[in-house]
Amino acid sequence: MDIIIRENGLNVAFHVREDRRVELVDFSSSDIESNFLTPLSEDTDITGQTHQFLSVHISGESTADLHGFKHMTGSASQTFLYQDHSLTETAAGKELTLHLISPDKLEAFYHMEFFRNTPVVRTFVTLRNISGRDLGLEYVCSFYYQGINKNGTLPFYDKTELMVPYNSWCNEAQWQSIDIRRVGLNHMNSHGYNTPDHGNNRYYYGNVGSWSSCVHLPMGMLKDKETGEISFYEIDYSGSWQIEFGTATGSGLYIALLGPNDESDFYKNLAPGEEFTTVPAAFGTAVGDESTATAALTQYRRAIRRPNKDDEDCYVVFNDYMNCLEGDPTEEKILPIIDIAADLGCEFYCIDAGWYDAGFWWNRVGEWEEAPERFPNGLKKVIDYGIAKGLKMGLWLEIEVMGIACPLADRLPDDWFVMNHGRRRIDNKRYLLDFRNPEVREHCTGIIDRLVRDYGISFIKMDYNSTVGIGSDLNTDSRGLSMLEHYRSFYEWLDSIYEKYPDLIIENCGSGAQRMDYGILAYHSLQSTSDQTDAYNTSHIVANVACAVTPEQGGVWVFPYEDDREHIIYNMVNGMLLRPYISGLVWNLSKECIDVLREGISVYKDIRADIPSMTPFFPLGFSKVEDPVLAFGIQTPDSSAPTSISSAPTEGFAYLSVFGPEADSADIPLPFEVISAEVIYPASIDCEFTVGPAPAAGCSSEDSSPEEGKSLLHVKFPSDKCARVFKLVKG
């Protein structure tokens, strides 16, 4: 029996064998000709190999084959037997549920959710112990598929390009493309004389710890250079995760998407009647490129995200930290900045770090009481002053930690904190609260209640500058499990806060973007995309970061530190197509520069209503740090309403930011035909540009052979280190 689902540009097929084992035999774009995976066998020998889709290992049982460290031969992986399935309508689309049971009496419910008009599925697995004994889980894949790049005529190793998203503090969203043969996944261990059809090596990347994106983003892409298909995937979890590739039975390429597993000290003792559910993962495929993949993931992220007014209205926030007060706020300093923020047209003002302590506050955070030395007339007076100026007010918090010098920490029991080997874990002079403890959650709710009630704040910048390591070893089967339970408790706590305060805006700042994932961004409306302090370095992040976060959630610092017109423009262009956080040395700016900054905020307000329905595109591909020219855009579908920038109806339009960090001119090939173009920021254009037919591949711009349906934008800046925002009307 075959279970075939054709939804949203996807072809997905499961095959139920005669022995009732189930195989995932196709996951392809409907835009290409696809074939099912070739059956390995159809006998009833339960030890025979299959194209599995569940990958599960139970303690005390043998793996199915030689495997090294690969997660593709779990003891139970190929033993689950089909019971039944359902395909039901949901608010978002459809959901397939496969019900299976293993000989160990481990019951599995495999969920695959489909989202309307989005070539992405979300998968997760729930396991229930229906035996009469404990079963130890060492790993369970959230998504597993052995047919990557199986379509076409070439083997995967001759046509597969991996795209890996490196991420680091102040160096976010930097992609590297890798020929899969360069990481050892080639023909030598799958197609040789008298060799097995799969090797023991793998290529993997991931995260261990509570900063989900401190080394890589929890996502990736993979290109089939023969068929034009691109696969894309992410793991929606804020803790330990892993993405793994290797050769599979049948000489194919597999992908495994895992949350915490045996390599991040995960173990779960599943008692009789108990359940365990994996973290959710997303997987999709389409014909196209990085822009196609990012557009699909953007649609998916909007579908799973908490509906909220902030992501519809895209408010402008002034935050007084970056290149501004740098964590040293006082009443005397803040009041004149509030005046400037209100004059600029900002709508929120956030008082950042330091408001709660007179001096060096790093190791004393935790009680969140105002420092009278900083606010001799009370913090409430400053907040009321901002409100009287027409601003909504916010505060910085780092609620998940408590400094080792915080007096409250000495009065609390150890089970409030992450523990290792009988001691509280200390990371950079902070203890880390364990949200599994209901008293911790109650304490944190009380802090939010007090700040909202007593100060009238409506915005919180929620930071997270320390990590819990692998997890606590207190009251748990394993540290990896304790972290999973900690984060699930933290998500539930966030749910309760938003239920109580539905219009409260919380920015997710994890030391910049060290925790940028859709486990937490399914709740928060705003994400700090970097702590980068240099405007020109920031543009290298801006040019890529919409791969990881929807434009309306992607907060970017606009923090001028030079009294120079082009410097102000460059800063504003950085944030224009995402979410600008205004900051910087604004009191040092001349009237001309203040006017240019104010103009940028006004233009942003003109276009921001469009942003939540637009999808990103990268006309130059993902940028590299050495690139002298950068470009990033957002575009509408082909039928779209006009915006306030232009009253003429259009067949679709795009906004495009073009940067010249190391160049005074740029040629930007566009993936569509342009019938008109205008610079929308700044109003005094001060640059030259032309739009014409794009030359065909392999031809120079002077060649007379244009590429049908595409255009080339040529920009001549007044100098290097310039940037402009364009509106492009599509043909």
Q: How far is CA 135 from the centre of its chain?
A: 34
Q: What is the pLDDT of residue 197?
A: 78
What is the longest distance spanned by two Cα atoms in the chain? 83
Per residue in 672-719, pLDDT (tens digit) is 999 999 999 999 989 999 999 988 766 655 555 677 889 999 999 999
Please give the Cα distance from 718 to 721 (Å, whole number).
9
CB-CB contact of 497 with 447 (8 Å)? no
Considering 54-68, 246-260, 636-650, 667-681, the range whose residues carry the highest mean pLDDT is 667-681
d(CA 671, CA 680): 20
Question: What integer pLDDT is reported at residue 9 of this predicted model?
Answer: 96
Q: 130 by DSSP, 3-state: which?
A: coil
Q: Which residue has the higher pLDDT, 199 or 457?
A: 457
Q: Give me the phi and psi of 650, to 5 degrees please.
A: -130, 165
Contact between 318 and 342 under an 8 Å Cβ cutoff? The reply is no
pLDDT the model gives residue 282:
98
DSSP 650: B
Distance CA 657, CA 727 (A): 9
| pLDDT one-digit tens code per residue, 110-133 | 999 999 999 999 999 999 999 999
Residue 43 is predicted with a pLDDT of 53
Q: Which of 730, 692, 698 is nearest to 712 (CA)?
A: 692
Residue 532 near residue 538 (C-beta atoms within 8 A)? yes
Report the alpha-carbon distance of residue 225 to residue 287 in Å, rounded. 10
* pLDDT of the residue at 509: 96
Average pLDDT over residues 25-39: 93
% of the chain residues with pLDDT over 90:
87
Residue 399: how many CB atoms within 10 A of its CB? 22
| pLDDT higher than 90, residue 150 | yes
What is the pLDDT of the chain when averaged over all its residues? Answer: 94
Does residue 262 sit in helix, strand or coil? Answer: helix
DSSP string, 458-491: -EEEE------TT---SSSS-HHHHHHHHHHHHH
- 3-state DSSP assignment of residue 75: coil
Share of the chain above pLDDT 70, in %: 96
Which pLDDT score, from 0 to 100, does residue 78 have? 87
Given a cut of 90, whether residue 651 has pLDDT beyond it is no
| Residue among 157, 124, 163, 120 at smallest CA distance from 246 | 157
Q: Smallest Cα–Cα separation from 506: which of 444, 577, 433? A: 444
pLDDT digits (tens, 9 = 90+) for 191-202: 777 777 788 889
Strands of 22-29's sheet in order across: 2-7, 10-16, 22-29
- For the packed helices 535-545 and 565-576, what is the interaxial angle rounded to 10 degrees? 20
pLDDT reported for residue 329? 97
Q: What pLDDT is recorded for position 723? A: 98
Beta bridge partners, 109, equal: 99, 126
At residue 200, the pLDDT reads 84
Q: What does the pLDDT read at residue 704?
A: 53
pLDDT of residue 642: 35
pLDDT in tens, 411-425: 999 999 999 999 999
Position 644 scores a pLDDT of 39
